Structure 1
């Protein structure tokens, strides 16, 4: 046992250290030699811009907007004659129809005959005052619904245009704000839309679709840019315009609920399409960079555009099926940069 400890173990340790030394020499002078693997020593990178092939597809321009259910505003019943309120026919809460009497206004009629001669024997006595003559005008409701307010009192003097009452139509509508991109996709919008209310009834049709800036709304003034805020895509900024449509009577919704408006603004079948990232411009006309068969510098090519779904856009003129173009507009910000996210 003493011979094993004295000779064998030291010999094994010397052998292990020798193997470690040989391995280090091989790693340092053989494995790391750049001439031993010329291929792996050469750096490489593919800097060619990504391309996309022009193809055919079906396209649907459906714009989805997030909005809210609102009660339609009350209609104002205004005085058409200056004078004094002589009678109020109804109180708030009463049901009214178009033409229902709301208030009566009394005004003094201009005298049409000279004042009567004095009856006194004294020629200097003043003439007797003429008896005033009055006329009465009945103001009627201009809308059907429920009488909401009557902000005047009997014997109150009113002028032409003063509000005598307001009538709530009792109807609902849904509206949603529009961005610049939404408005450009809705240049030829239909007159109806489909509305979905989370947790509410099944999606239903919504008539009388209107798009534009509400009457009397103040102009939209852009706020000064924040130098510390991330960049924002201008097409995603609100414009002050809204899309609004009337909810059918009997639909089980209430004011204040969130809703989604889906507006189908056109569809096309089997048309040439390219990604919107490949086109400079989005409405009517645009530019793409066409790659020629022999390679070389891509050629700026003008195209005529059609429908878009926000991801792909229809090309009506300027390209042929199978042509290759740059997938991204040169010098444009990559997707995801400049959208505020």
Structure 2
């Protein structure tokens, strides 16, 4: 027993400590090198998702938020130069087109000739020069008329004041209103074929009404040309994929303004908000793909078609209507074709979830 306690147990403890030391050395120096070497070769590959081309309906509907504003007044301009001698209306009066607002006088261009008065000298038949009798100045009078029906606003002429031709002396407010909303560049492209009507809903106001005369201000950037006028659907196709590169805003820059007159029987106030819905066409049972899969803007675009082996090739397609999330393909793809869901190199939305991973 004493031999076991004094010799064998110490030897056993030495063996245990030696094994632990060797294991620690291996973990610290050798396993770390192997892990670092393996890290240079990833075992998983991120795959770009592909989607199948299908049939669907594309409704090219653009929605805007607008604001109610008063229509611009018609300026009252003097049509004669001279002195104001009479004012027939006051600011705030309701006037009709053609009504006299004030009167201007000016000296007539031709004045009466003064009469020479004198006595003839003896032996001379000619009358002696005399002092001309004073003659009153003759004036011409002009009425300045209201240019339109409405309410007289900012009316400034005063008796005794001198006015010149073309001088603005007031404004006739028509008392009508309109709704205006800003169009982004992407929306402007989608409305190249001008809609003939728009549905307007005043927030907290009367029932929605149809505007039959929507007007769109042409953006300066669009003056350089447009799509093929022979294709109605092509003309309404808009930018699909956001532009790439620094400073790109994806077509969100204001590019035009839409205005719609408000009927006189619709009660509104300046500053009220309104929802504007414009429809520029509907295409049913047509080939559609996600807008994220197409790179292009008007008329044509590029998609990446995937074959059964997983290889992708670029293909040019012709574009039709788009609703902001789906776009009609009029030529270049068929139902069932596989294409990449996102344009290579573009930013992928975070809400798309994790992509499939292949082991390596």
When the two structures are superposed, what TM-score results if normalisation uses the length of structure 2? 0.70
Match of 1:331 among 336, 345, 358: 345
Structure 1 equivalent of residue 117 of structure 2 = 119
Calculate the aligned-residue CA RMSD, in Å: 3.0
Cα deviation digits, residues 109-129 of structure 1 (max 9, x gap): 31278x446434697777667
Provide the C-alpha distance between the structure 2 equivalents of 1:318 and 1:292, rounded to a whole number of angstroms: 15
On the 8 A contact 1:63/1:263 being kept in 2, the answer is yes
Maintained 8 Å contact 1:192/1:245:
no
CA distance in 1, matches of 2:330, 2:86: 67
Q: Which residue of 1 aligns with 2:224?
A: none
Partner of 1:208, secondary structure, is: coil
Further displaced range: 81-90 or 174-183 = 81-90
Instruction: Report what 1:5 is aligned to.
Output: none
Which residue of 1 is the match for residue 254 of structure 2?
238
Equivalent residue runs for 1:1-341 within 5 Å: 44-111=43-110, 115-116=113-114, 118-120=116-118, 131-212=136-217, 233-239=249-255, 241-296=256-311, 298-335=312-349
Residue 253 (structure 1) shift: 2.2
Q: Deviations over 1:136-156 (max 9, x none)?
A: 222222221111221111221
2:146 and 2:54 mapped to 1: Cα distance?
60
Distance 1:52 1:128 in 2: 104
Does the 8 Å contact 1:102/1:165 carry over to 2?
Answer: no
Q: 1:133 to 1:207 in 2, by over 3 A?
A: farther
Distance in 1 between residues matched to 2:346 and 2:129, nearest whole Å = 96
1:330 and 1:126 map into 2 onto residues whose CA distance is 102
- Do 2:80 and 2:165's aligned partners in 1 also have CA atoms closer than 8 Å? yes
SS in 1 for 2:44: coil
Aligned length: 284
Q: CA shift at 1:232, angstroms?
A: 6.1
1:212 Cα offset (Å): 0.8
TM-score of the two chains, using structure 1 as the length reference = 0.74
Gaps of 5+ in 1: 1-24, 29-33, 35-41, 215-229
Residues 85-136 of structure 1, C-alpha deviations (whole Å, 9 max, x = no match): 22222112221222222222222231278x4464346977776676433222
**8 Å CA contact 2:111, 2:138 repeated in 1:** no
The CA distance in 1 between the partners of 2:99 and 2:218, in whole Å, is 32
Q: Which runs of 5 or more residues in structure 2 are unaligned? A: 1-19, 24-30, 32-40, 120-126, 220-245, 352-360
- Determine the C-alpha separation between the residues in 1 that align with 2:302 and 2:339: 11
Larger Rg: 2
User: Partners in 1 of 2:82 and 2:300 — Cα distance?
Assistant: 61
Q: List per-residue Cα deviations over 1:16-40 (Å, max 9, x = no partner).
A: xxxxxxxxx9xx9xxxxx9xxxxxx
Once residues 207 and 79 of structure 1 are traced to their aligned partners in structure 2, the CA distance between those partners, rounded to angstroms, is 35
